Amino acid sequence: MSFRSFPRRFHVWFAVVLAFGAAPQVLAQGTLVFDSLEHEGYMRQYFVFEPSGYDGSLEVPLVLNLHGAGSTAAEQLLYSKLNTVADTAGFLVAYPDAVDNFWNSGLPLDPGVVLPDDVSFLSALLDTLEQRYAVDEDRIYSTGMSNGGFMSHRLACEMPGRLAAIASVTGSMAPSVLSACSPGEAVPVFQIHGTSDLTVPYEGAAYSAPVEDVVDFWVDNNACPEGPGAGPYTDTLPDIAADNTVTISRRWLACQDWSEVLLYKVNMGGHTWPGSFPLPGAGNTAQDFLAHTEIWAFFRRHNRGQVFTGLHGPSTDRSAPLLWPNPGRSWLQLDARAGSLVRAWDATGRLQATWRVPQSGERIQTAHWPAGLYWIQVEGSAAQSWVKMD
């Protein structure tokens, strides 16, 4: 499959037209700004969503949200619903348009078709946004639908130093990109994909690598531990909606530099964005979870400062608690002030235990804890330590 034959069906699915003007457009409680950037002879257009309350006094995260093939930034804005999360969580979202509605993500092209260097363009766009906004450069992320997901994977391969994490919805990696990918560092990756996706098949195609091969690549790249008690951790999301889908999550934790790999395998899911409105002819749209909220929950756990923030907000506190032995078996000892409140979560984010640090030299009995990985946090410090229990 090549550029001109790659499915480009979005235009017939949307009946919404946004009015583009010089003045900022107001969307919900935030502000939508339309702008352009000249790059390599092309005038590239993009939106920026500013959350309500943003005044530039504090640095905030930034998310690139990339549309699919044949789609547009405006359609991705409406379809992904990411602004609803950004407005309450307080982060910026950039929605750029690709040239000819197709990102140069490494997918094969028809003979004679030449696309601009979108890695260079998106890097230039980040430069521009960092100059214009108070962006936390440790918390820049990329996500996208279909071709935008392919592009997010390519960004993780070719400019990992700019991104704290990526997420791909219905996008894979072109085989040529997968074989050449060498980030040189760990990159947290979240993959959401339906098993009944006919556009980017879960099992792969000539133009796209199998989803599980892509996930395995990032597991290896991030040096994620595997094996009994070490992951991956598998769970089934609650089947709360009559949408003909069931989602299985597989999560690899305690990877290099606090990175992580997460796969949501949407059984019977189509070429769709879970939690959004159905698209005719695209297959089932899962409603058991909202992709936009799950993506932000994943992103907020990671930053370029290599501080894993778990279920809490980002932090620059690197005073992680000291504990031993690690791996542990029946007890743990923690180097913290007596009386401090301590919490332990298992690898799925469930609270396992809460206790007060006893007097110096006393041990915490953990023989009843199931084998696996846990992260430990002392009250008053956002930094955490991992411990493996055998």
pLDDT, residue 127, reads: 98
- Is residue 124 a part of any domain in this protein? yes
Q: At residue 184, what is the residue type? A: G
pLDDT tens for 29-52 read 789 999 999 999 999 999 999 999
Cβ partners under 8 Å of residue 165, min gap 6: 141, 187, 188, 189, 190, 298, 299, 301, 302
> Is 102 in the same domain as 150?
yes
> Is 142 in the same domain as 287?
yes
Which of residues 234, 265, 299 is at a domain's end? Answer: 299
- Helical axes 118-132 vs 147-158, angle rounded to 10°: 80
- Is residue 225 a part of any domain in this protein? yes
pLDDT, residue 133, reads: 97
Q: Where are the alpha helices (DSSP H) in the chain?
A: 73-80, 82-89, 118-132, 147-158, 175-180, 211-221, 291-299
pLDDT, residue 329, reads: 73
Radius of gyration of the chain, Cα coordinates, nearest whole angstrom: 22
Instruction: Please state, in angstroms and as integers, the Cα–Cα distance from residue 287 to each residue in 237, 297, 364, following that order.
Output: 11, 17, 42
The total number of structural domains in the chain stands at 2
pLDDT, residue 34, reads: 95
> Is 157 in the same domain as 109?
yes
**CA atoms of 7 and 253, how far apart (whole Å):** 35
Which of residues 237, 265, 299 is at a domain's end? Answer: 299
> Is 182 in the same domain as 294?
yes
State the DSSP code for 320. Answer: P
- Is residue 306 a part of any domain in this protein? no
- Which of 59, 39, 55, 36 lies closest to 47, judged by CA? 36
- Is residue 307 a part of any domain in this protein? no
> Is 291 in the same domain as 333?
no
CATH of the domain at 226: 3.40.50.1820
**CA atoms of 233 and 374, how far apart (whole Å):** 12
> Is 190 in the same domain as 336?
no
3-state secondary structure of 45: strand
3-state secondary structure of 115: coil
DSSP 158-198: H-GGG-SEEEEES----HHHHHH---SS---EEEEEETT-S
**CA atoms of 332 and 241, how far apart (whole Å):** 42
> Is 275 in the same domain as 328?
no
> Is 250 in the same domain as 367?
no
pLDDT, residue 257, reads: 87
CATH of the domain at 341: 2.60.40
- Hey, what are 69's tokens? 């093939």
3-state secondary structure of 278: coil
> Is 88 in the same domain as 206?
yes
What residue ranges of the chain have pLDDT lower than 50?
1-27, 308, 310-319
- Is residue 315 a part of any domain in this protein? no
- Helical axes 291-299 vs 82-89, angle rounded to 10°: 40
> Is 286 in the same domain as 378?
no
- Is residue 316 a part of any domain in this protein? no
pLDDT, residue 380, reads: 67
Residue 71 near residue 10, CB atoms below 8 Å: yes
Range of the domain at 211: 3-299
- Is residue 309 a part of any domain in this protein? no
pLDDT, residue 306, reads: 59
> Is 189 in the same domain as 53?
yes
pLDDT, residue 318, reads: 37
> Is 124 in the same domain as 72?
yes
**CA atoms of 376 and 346, how far apart (whole Å):** 9
Cβ partners under 8 Å of residue 183, min gap 6: 156, 157, 160, 221
pLDDT, residue 25, reads: 38
- Is residue 210 a part of any domain in this protein? yes
3-state secondary structure of 131: helix
